[in-house]
Amino acid sequence: MKYLIVGLGNIGSEYENTRHNIGFKIVDALAKASTIFFEPNKLGDTATLKYKGRIFILLKPSTFMNLSGKAVNYYLQQEKIKQENLLIITDDIALPFGTLRLKGKGSDGGHNGLKNIIQILGNDNFSRLRFGVGSDFVKGKQINHVLGEFAPEEQNQLGERLEKTTELIKSFATIGLGRTMSEFNNK
């Protein structure tokens, strides 16, 4: 079985360590733990991971966050992956730092990357993993928050949270959405 695991983020060194790029950081952590490497490809960097009889196509779109749908749709078609085997990983300011929330479908929640994916695919029937980046910002300054870097205390906890997130991704593909949600959500 094939899975498309998409970490959302923005390309460029100025975005590399921002909260908005947590999707990139998560798929990077999964690749690093599995000693595989990303390669530049059409519409993004990709890596292929084999795990317990499954094939994960890891994708970091190069289309910028707000146009992620084009890359997602391309790789679903190119790799012949069913939408039920798609997992989008994104930041979420509505969740406290490091909180994980896996859902099988839903709205964009105000996230422009998800909004574009829903628009391009024509539906919201895909799994998404939201990683909490907190809401410690003054009203109207959320852009500065998500495009800012993690605070030192968050950076100290980031390694453990990335490890937990990679476990969640593997669980999603092996034991399924429902059981993974029960085991990992809000933990």
In three state form, how does the secondary structure of the chain look?
CEEEEEECCCCCCCCCCEHHHHHHHHHHHHHHHCCCCCEEECCEEEEEEEECCEEEEEEEECCCHHHHHHHHHHHHHHCCCCHHHEEEEEEECCCCCCCEEEECCCCCCCCHHHHHHHHHHCCCCCEEEEEECCCCCCCCCHHHHHCCECCHHHHHHHHHHHHHHHHHHHHHHHCCHHHHHHHHCCC
Backbone angles phi, psi at 39, to 5 degrees: -125, 145
Cβ atoms of residues 176 and 160 within 8 Å: no
Instruction: Identify whether 20 is a catalytic site residue.
Output: yes
Catalytic residue among 3, 4, 8, 20: 20
Catalytically active residues are 20
